[in-house]
Amino acid sequence: MAQRALMIAAPASGQGKTSVTVGLARKLARSVQRVRVFKTGADFLDPLILARASGHPVHVLDLWMGGAPHCWRLLQSAAREADILLVEGVMGLYDGTPCSADLARQFGLPVLAVIDARAMAQTIGALAMGLRDFGPVNLAGVIGNGVAGPGHARMLADALGSIPMLAQLPSLTVALPERHLGLVAADEVDDLESIIEALADNLVIDGKHWELIGPWELPEPVEFDSPAPDPTTAKQPLAGATIAIARDLAFAFVYPANVDCLQRLGAAIAWFSPLADESVPAAANGVWMPGGYPELHGERLSKALHFQRSVREAHDAGLPMLAECGGMMALADSLLDLQGRRWPMAAIFPGVTRMHAEFRAIGLQGWRTPHGELRGRTFHHSSLASPIAELARTVCHPSGNPGERIYRHGSLTASYFHAYFYSCPAAICALFGAAAH
C-alpha cells in the first residue's frame, strides 16, 4: 500500500499547482518511487499533462460527480500499486461545492499549499495559516512558487513559523502553455517532455521536512452520501457491444474512468480518428463522440469525407450514438470559428455551432434520467442554433438552475453536457443498450 498521499492545493487558480505537481511527480519517479497522480474536479486537460509526467493514466476525483465510494475505490486501487499518491486540487483550496478541502478531509490527505511568492514576503505566513485554519485541514507544508533566491526563501520560511517550507520552485522561462479552457492538451505541446524535465530539475525539496511527513492510510469506508453504483458487481449488460470512440487532437476530452466503465459493463472499445479521416470501425455497433477542440481543426474535419460518410451511415443504420460538446459540433451542419469561417461538418444533427471569445457555460451539472441522475460537467465557448426540440435539460449544481439542453435525433443523443459514466452506469447502458443486441 502507498506509504504517503498528499493533496497539492493552493489559495486560488493560477498559483502553479499543476506545474508543481508535474515537477514533483517526475522528480519522485526519478528516485524509483512508484507514483500515481489524481486530479480533483471535472478536468480533462490537466490529467493529460500529469499522465505524461507520472507515466500512468490520471483519474479525476470529485465527491459530487463520481461520489465518495467511487473515489474511495480509485484511491484504494492506486494505493495497492504505488509508493506515493499525489492529488492535485482544483481552483482554491476552499472553492466549490464540494471543494478540494472536502476531499482532503474525507480521505485523510495532508495538504501541501502551493503559493505564488513572486510578489510576496511575510504575508505568506498569514495566507498559509488562513488556509490551514479556515477549514481546517492538515497542512503539512508550503511549496513556494516563483522564489527569487536564497534570501527570499529564508524570508518566506521565517514568516511561515511552524509551517514547513517543504519545497520551492524558482521563476522559470519555461511554462505549461494555456488556452481558453485551461492548459493545452499534452499531445499538442512539442517540447512537453523538456518542460516536465525542467520543472523536476528546478523543484528543490527540503529533504528533512519531507521525511517528517507522516505515513498515510486510506480510511475505511463509512456511510457515504450519494453512493455510486459499482458495475463490477453487476452483470455485463453491454456484453457483445463494440463502442467506437473518436480520439485525436480534436476529440481528447475523455475521462479514463468512462472507458473503464464501458469495459466493465462488457463493451469492447474501438478507437478511430476523425482528423485522420478514419471511418467508424466496421465492428462498431455504438459510437461515442467526446468533446475536444474541433474548432481548431475546422478545415481538416471539413475535408474528412470518409469519416463524415461513415458516421452518417452509422446514424442511418440506427447505431446508438452519444455526442458531447465538441463531438456534437462535429456532427452538426457546420461550425463557425472565431475568425468567422464556416466549415461544413458531418450534417447528422441539424444546426450550426458558433465559437465565442467568452465562456458560454461552465460548471457541474446532472441529467435526471429515468435510470437515475447522470452527473458531469459543462464548459464551452461555443453556442448552438438548432431547430431540434430538446429532450431534457440538465440541472446545475449546486444552484438547481436549468443547465444544458439534451437533444435526441434518431439514434443520436447530443448535448454540451460531458457525462461521468460511473455516476449512473444504468443511464449509460440505456444510451448504448441497443448496441448489445
Residue 49 sits at the vertex; the CA angle it makes with 174 and 260, to the nearest 5 degrees, is: 180
Q: Counting beta carbons within 10 angstroms of the beta carbon of residue 142, is it exposed (0 to 12), middle (13 to 18) or buried (19 or more)? A: buried
Average pLDDT over residues 340-348: 97
The residue written with cell numbers 495566507 in the block is 127
Res. 177: pLDDT tops 60: yes
For 223, other C-beta atoms within 10 Å of its C-beta total: 6
How far apart are the C-alpha atoms of 381 and 379, rounded to whole Å? 7
Cα Rg, the chain, nearest whole Å: 22
pTM of the model: 0.93
Q: What is the largest CA-CA distance in the chain?
A: 69
> What pLDDT score was predicted for residue 315?
98
Beta bridge partners of 344: 334
Of 221-225, 284-288, 357-361, 427-431, which gets the smallest average pLDDT? Answer: 221-225
> What pLDDT score was predicted for residue 322?
98
φ, ψ for residue 155, nearest 5 deg: -60, -45
Q: What type of residue sits at position 75?
A: L
Q: Element (H or E) spanning 223, and its range?
A: none
pLDDT digits (tens, 9 = 90+) for 94-148: 999 999 999 999 999 999 999 999 999 999 999 999 999 999 999 999 999 999 9
pLDDT digits (tens, 9 = 90+) for 262-320: 999 999 999 999 999 999 999 999 999 999 999 999 999 999 999 999 999 999 999 99
Q: What type of residue sits at position 66?
A: G
Query: Catalytic amino acids?
Result: 325
Tell how strand 4-9 and strand 111-116 pair up: parallel
Domains of the chain are: 4-211 (3.40.50.300), 232-436 (3.40.50.880)
> What pLDDT score was predicted for residue 27?
96
